[in-house]
Structure 1
Amino acid sequence: MTLSVSAPSGDAQGMTIVARTQGQLVRRRFFQHKAAMAGLTVLLAIVVLAFTSVGFGPFDGWWKYNWTQTGTVVNGGQPTLTLWPFSLGEHPFGQDNVGKDYFALVMRGAQQSLLVAFLVGIVATTVGTLVGSLSGYFRKWTEAVLMRWTDVMITIPVLLIAAIVGRMAGGSGIIVLGLALGLVIWPQLGRLVRGEVLSLREREFVEAARAIGTRPRRIIFKHILPNTLGIIIVSATLTIANAILLESALSFLGVGVQPPDISLGQLISFYQGAMLTRPWLFWWPGVFIIAIALSINFIGDGLRDAFDPRQNRVRA
């Protein structure tokens, strides 16, 4: 909606007052968050680079090597990447001890780590949202059962239970691994959603919906959950950031992604002994893990500030 107001004096110019919706304010705050924009740019660049360079599924990539192709180790396998003048060379990230192109290995590892992380984020967000909304709305025995289950999950160290689950599901592929890990790290989100639902269920619009006979399922999904969307989205981004670190830790311990597939954490585990002699084999996957985790965290910070109702001033 746009309201035009003309000043009474001849010297003053007309003013245009723009009334923005909540969604427009959220988008504007997010796009004005410099750290979030930097994180989004880095994340998109990594995703595009990882999935287009070595290909994915039936689609071929533009890079001339793949992660399974061996060859002759040239110049000790040192990286050929130069920043000035910029040149990729034959093996920009170097080669491993059997002559595999390390750029292709890191790109494949980034693919698998990203897929697992986003699968974990989707599953954990879905489960946490359902558990939190049901326990917060219905209360009584529903809340007692679901919250005691949540408390039990929280008391067990995440890495311990994730290692057990990863050991059982790691050999079944990344999809099963992502689904299994998602069923482990949802409790924090579940408690956050429950707290929001507890405060919203007593609001006037929910009482009015109950008074006219609206079913609980419709009240939850049409009236309550849309008002908790901000906290759900922010928590989902932070869950994905935690998932990339968790998958890397599990793969480093040997209970995550299993050979013949590869992940960033697995590359660090394989070549940790080469840190002093061939440090590029250790540092490249580590740099990508840090870049992905930090960029997702920056995006989460931007979303948190954008959804915060106290951020009611937007720069022109």
Structure 2
Amino acid sequence: MSDSTHPTATAGGTEVAPPPSEPAQPTNERSASLWADARRQLLRDPVFIVASIYVLLVASMAAFPILWTRQDPRACDVQRTRIPPSWEHPFGFNNLGCDYYSHAIYGARPSLQIAIFATLGIVLFGGIAGLLAGYFGGWVDAIISRITDIFFSLPFLLGAIVFLTVIKQQNVWTLAIVLIVLGWTTIARIMRGSVLSSKGLDYVQAAKAMGAGHGRLMIRHILPNAIAPMVVYATITLGAFVSAEATLTYLGVGLQPPEESWGIMISQHQVYFLEHPWLLLFPCGLLVGTVLSFILMGDALRDALDPKLR
């Protein structure tokens, strides 16, 4: 039996060494991780791109309103009450004679602030609760699940109205806290389910067998694999909280004048809809566009992060 490591004989009796094997060519194959695939898919999704651009524009209104208008929203003149839109004032004037366009631009800040603070709060609180419940199980899961059920039983809108009426102080922080208290339960349920499906994976069991502690297992091995559904839900929740702030403000328990807010604009000018419909259409258009953009971004993220939908 011949060995490939030794010379081989030809028909003429001359021994000839076999040709050396070619070295393996380096490959530049890209990482096929879930997040890399999702990023490539999102960059090719026109719906996600358009929705992201709209959200970025609204975010720039909230962060840098001076880039969008030089008008002072509180510089009012009653002689200009409800003047229709013009080239110099594209949204016209409100019932107090204030530039309506500047009100709309400055009204983006409190709406986005409340939505961002509330979403960060439910992700942090609900994510930790769901992670602990799913990982430890047993009595920890039972206690957290029963607490979650109690908060689930509270009607969201009615609970927010009651809490804000009792607090009697409506500002960005109180609205965000109320939304966190009533909104963390779904995130906790989503995270718990993701952790339950991830903690039994082979690489998690291997890390556990090698002596990894609870903290390392949860943070380094389980959380990265379980966080995708929570990111999708948090993106959609941003839009839901923008809508919730406008709803609570419209009902009189949210932000109060002289604060600028889309909800305040809608509440103050609903009675003028038949005579001056643009006073209601402009803030409603901005509100609907923002909420819809967050929802479309969340749907696109869900499709990109779920391999079964590709």
TM interval, shorter chain, is 0.7 to 0.9
Shift of 1:146: 0.7
Match of 2:126 in 1: 128
The match for 2:44 among 32, 37, 45 is 32
The match for 2:29 among 5, 8, 18 is 18
Report the CA distance shift for 1:90/1:79 in structure 2 as closer, same or farther (over 3 A): same
Query: Tell me, which stretches of 5 or more residues in structure 2 are unaligned?
Result: 1-26
Shift of 1:264: 0.9
Shift of 1:33: 1.4
Q: What is the rounded CA distance, in whole Å, between the counterparts of 2:48 and 2:297 in structure 1?
A: 4
Shift of 1:311: 4.9
Match of 2:83 in 1: 77
Match of 2:11 in 1: none
Q: What is the rounded CA distance, in whole Å, between the counterparts of 1:18 and 1:126 in structure 2?
A: 36
Q: What is the rounded CA distance, in whole Å, between the counterparts of 1:311 and 1:150 in structure 2?
A: 30
Shift of 1:176: 3.4
Match of 1:9 in 2: none
Match of 1:41 in 2: 53
The 4+ residue runs of structure 1 with deviation greater than 4 A are: none
Task: Compare CA radii of gyration and give the structure with the larger one.
Answer: 2
Q: What is the rounded CA distance, in whole Å, between the counterparts of 2:115 and 2:54 in structure 1?
A: 16
Give me the TM-score of the superposition, normalised by structure 2: 0.85
Q: What is the rounded CA distance, in whole Å, between the counterparts of 1:228 and 1:134 in structure 2?
A: 13
C-alpha distance after superposition, 1:93-141 (max 9, x if no partner): 0111221011111112111111111111111111121111111111111
The match for 1:64 among 65, 70, 83 is 70
Which amino acid counterpart does residue 185 of structure 2 have in structure 1?
P
SS of corresponding position for 2:169: helix
Shift of 1:204: 2.0
SS of corresponding position for 1:184: helix
Shift of 1:76: 4.5
Shift of 1:68: 1.3
Shift of 1:164: 2.3
The match for 1:105 among 103, 106, 113 is 103
Shift of 1:75: 8.1
Q: What is the rounded CA distance, in whole Å, between the counterparts of 2:68 and 2:36 in structure 1?
A: 38
Aligned residue pairs total 283
**Counterpart contact for 2:175–2:245, Cα < 8 Å:** no
Match of 1:263 in 2: 261
Q: What is the rounded CA distance, in whole Å, between the counterparts of 2:211 and 2:178 in structure 1?
A: 38
**Counterpart contact for 1:241–1:293, Cα < 8 Å:** yes
Give me the TM-score of the superposition, normalised by structure 1: 0.84
Which amino acid counterpart does residue 203 of structure 1 have in structure 2?
L
Shift of 1:282: 1.0
Q: What is the rounded CA distance, in whole Å, between the counterparts of 2:81 and 2:244 in structure 1?
A: 35
Report the CA distance shift for 1:78/1:274 in structure 2 as closer, same or farther (over 3 A): same
**Counterpart contact for 1:127–1:183, Cα < 8 Å:** no
Q: How does 1:161-310 map to 2 (within 5 A)?
A: 161-168=159-166, 171=169, 173-310=171-308
**Counterpart contact for 1:133–1:197, Cα < 8 Å:** yes
Match of 1:85 in 2: none
- Matched-pair identity in %: 31
C-alpha distance after superposition, 1:197-243 (max 9, x if no partner): 11112222222222233221221111111001211110110111111
